[in-house]
Each structure stands twice: as structure tokens, then as C-alpha cells.
Amino acid sequence: MNESSNGRLLQQTILVTGGASGLGRAIVERCVAEGASVGVLDRDEASCRSLEAEFGEHVLCVTGDVRDPSANEHAVTACVERFGGLDTAIGNAGIWDYSMPLVEIPAERLSAAFDEMFQINVLGYMQLAKAALRPLAARRGTLIFTVSNAGFWPGGGGALYTATKHAVVGLVRQLAFEFAPHVRVNGVAPGAIATSLKGPASLGMEARRFPAEAMLRGAPGFVPIGRMPTPAEYAGAYVFFASRDDNVPATGTVLNHDGGFGIRGLGATPRGGDDLLERLHL
């Protein structure tokens, strides 16, 4: 059952929330390429339909909101009914606060913004975990949550986003404990990605455009690896945590997969090795 012989995802069924766009879509593409059948839960109806048109029988989409327990249950049930079970559930749908500093959030809007950010970024993952636990336990499966560099370091969002992503790190650890030894729970913490990440409606940011091009241009100045990875380049980490051959020791861990924000150092450049090749005469 669902065992792979080479670390790939042959015959696995994988459910991805927020799989209709950006990082989630890249994870879907990679999982299909690895031989998996993929379910998606996303609130963007048009992107869901285009995903199904592109991937045909390999992908099923459920349109719904990750905050809604019945939407998560519906997506899990649809995967089990269509593909026969569930091996991996990936909580990934999220929103950003456009780095709005606490001092700039109007006091009368803070509570609503807090609720919206935490309900999508944290409660959504909990709803997925609750809905998927039974079929995952039946197959000794895996939960994977998208964290962020903001789960570890300040400055990758405002107080709201950073707090939600720190909360996800705690959720990974707690659920890994609660579900051991039956279901592994791990996180992937990507760095900046050129996507169309949206903001909270409660702060009027639901249609705001992520500054992807500016971030791509500016990346050499702030990403230690010198550029911003593509969404597809992040997807392999999810394959690793889903793979029954490779994930055996992994539970309760979060992979800093952010281009090196943790080793930026104290100098003017985020890299200590900019002149390394010169010094090595290469």
C-alpha cells in the first residue's frame, strides 16, 4: 500500500489546501509528477477549475474555505472516495499582513484582523488536521504545514503574520506529540516567494497585489543564497516529508527552507562569501 521504492510518491493520495495558486500549485504539480493523486481545497473557484482542466483525473478540487470544518471534511471525504484513502495532508492556504506594523493597525480593527489572520493561518491547519486524522492514521500517514521564515525571524511580516506563523511551529510540535507514533507532523518554512499572496479583508487587503517583481529584483540584497527560489524549487521539501522512504525519523520538525535568513550575519551584505570564488581563483 502506497509504498514507494525510490523515495517518490507513487500511489500516494495527497490533499493540499491553498493548492490552486503559488506555492500550493507548485506542490500539486510536483506531487502529480511524482505519481500521486492530489486533492485541493481552495476558495478560489476559477483557479480550482483551471487546475482540474490542466491535470484531469490526477487532481480533484473542492472549493471552500479552510476555516470551515465542513469544507475540510468534504475535501477529505472526496479524496478517500475518489482515490481510496489519504496518505498526506498539506496545510498551506494562508494570507499575509503586508508587514503592517502594529502601530499602524487601527485599534478598532485589530480584533477582526487578528481573528481573520489566525483563523485562516492557524485554525485552517487545525481544521485540516481534525478532518484528515482518521484516514491518515489508517495509513500511518503524514501532515505537513507551510510555515514561513516569519515562523522564526521578525521582519518577514507584521506582528499578526509573524504571530500566526510562530503559532504554526507550536502546532507542528504539539500535533506531532499528540499523533505519535501513528501520524508524522512536520513543517516547511519557505522564505520569500514570488506569488500572489493576499491580505486580510478586515484590513482592506484582500485584493492587494503582492510585490513579487520588486522582491525578485531586490532578492540579492536580502537573501543569502543570492536569489529568490521559484515556487517549484520549494516543492521538493514537501516530497521529502511525504515520502515514506525518506521521512522515517522526521516528526515535530520544521525545515528552515528560506534561502538562509538564519545565517545573514551582521555585515552590510547578507553573505560572507560574495568574494569567495575570487579568493579561490575560480
Ligand X SMILES: NC(=O)c1ccc[n+]([C@@H]2O[C@H](COP(=O)([O-])OP(=O)(O)OC[C@H]3O[C@@H](n4cnc5c(N)ncnc54)[C@H](O)[C@@H]3O)[C@@H](O)[C@H]2O)c1
Site string for ligand X, 112-131 (x = CB under 6 A): --------x-----------
Q: Does 184 bind ligand X (CB under 6 A)?
A: no
Within 10 angstroms of residue 166's Cβ, the number of other Cβ atoms is 17
Q: Does 230 bind ligand X (CB under 6 A)?
A: no
Q: How far is the CB of 215 from ligand X (least distance, A)?
A: 7
Q: How many CA atoms lie within 13 A of 266 on its CB side?
A: 0
Distance (Å, whole) CA 178 – CA 156: 30
Q: Does 143 bind ligand X (CB under 6 A)?
A: no
Q: Is 238 tagged catalytic?
A: no
The one among 44, 75, 129, 238 contacting ligand X by CB under 6 A: 44
Which three cell numbers, joined as nine digits, stand for 12? 500516494
Amino acid code (one letter) for 77 = T
Given the rule CB under 6 A, which of 5-13, 92-100, 239-247, 274-282 is the region that contacts ligand X? Answer: 92-100
Q: How far is the CB of 271 from ligand X (least distance, A)?
A: 20
Instruction: For residue 104, give the 3-state DSSP assignment.
Output: helix
Q: How far is the CB of 228 from ligand X (least distance, A)?
A: 8
Of 158, 15, 49, 46, the C-alpha closest to 95 is: 158
Site string for ligand X, 144-163 (x = CB under 6 A): --x-x---------------
Q: Does 29 bind ligand X (CB under 6 A)?
A: no
The alpha-helical segments, DSSP class H, found in the chain are 22-33, 45-55, 69-83, 107-118, 124-138, 159-179, 212-222, 231-242, 276-279
Binding residues for ligand X (CB under 6 A): 18, 20-24, 42-44, 47, 65-67, 92-95, 120, 146, 148, 190, 192-193, 195-198
